[in-house]
Amino acid sequence: MAKDITKLVAKIEQKQEFKEEVSNFDEQLKTLRLTVTNLITCTDNVRLASLEVPVLLASFNVAKDSIDNAIDGICNAITRAHQTPVKVDFTDESKSYLEATHQKLIENELIKNHEAKVDDSLKALGNKVEKAMNGYKSIFIDKKTFNIYFWLFIVIMEIALCSSILLICYAIKFGKL
């Protein structure tokens, strides 16, 4: 009779262990389902991000073309301005006035010292520019350019992360890890 009780206790313990294993298996199955759901969500996010890449590229191309058009417009305006004829009447009276004014300026002491003053001014300006250049030895990027590269980096990192998760789940599913 003691053997029967021992057998019954052993069977009850086996059933209890089996129930615990089933419970653990159910929890692992729920965790796996949640992981698969998250993986599907990440895959959808990657798919959506990949759909936005052509739009971003098109936006960059449009911006580049817009800048090219602006530069072409400026160059065309300068070319047209150079090609525009200017009609000037130069009479004897204008010539005599110009010569008289020229003589006054040559005689004037300001003209004599003008080159020295300009040279001194240029040297002083050069020193100021050199000091300014030595004081700022770093790269400055405007906010728009920073934002473009920052969000592009974030999108690439998100794609890489989701791809890694997808690869890990694939390896776990097929047992190749």
pLDDT in tens, 103-160: 777 766 665 676 778 778 878 887 887 777 676 666 667 788 888 888 999 899 999 8
When mean pLDDT is compared across 56-60, 98-102, 163-167, the lowest value belongs to: 56-60
Residue 121 lies in a domain: yes
Distance CA 67, CA 82 (A): 23
Q: Quick check: 96 pLDDT over 60? A: yes
Q: Quick check: 100 pLDDT over 80? A: yes
Q: Which of the listed ranges 55-69, 85-99, 143-157 does the model predict with the highest average pLDDT?
A: 143-157
**Total domains present in the chain:** 2
Nearest to 168 by CA among 73, 68, 32: 32
Residue 169 lies in a domain: no
Assess whether 70 and 46 both reside in one domain: yes
Q: Which residues contact 52 (CB under 8 A, 6 or more apart)?
A: 155
Assess whether 117 and 59 both reside in one domain: no
Is the full-model pTM beyond 0.85?
A: no
Assess whether 79 and 38 both reside in one domain: yes
Assess whether 95 and 36 both reside in one domain: no
Assess whether 98 and 30 both reside in one domain: no
Assess whether 32 and 100 both reside in one domain: no
Assess whether 19 and 76 both reside in one domain: yes
Q: Quick check: 20 pLDDT over 60? A: yes
Coil vs helix vs strand at 69: helix
Domain end, chosen from 69, 87, 105, is at 87
Assess whether 65 and 104 both reside in one domain: no
The residue segments making up the domain with residue 76 are: 1-87
Residue 128 lies in a domain: yes
Assess whether 51 and 76 both reside in one domain: yes
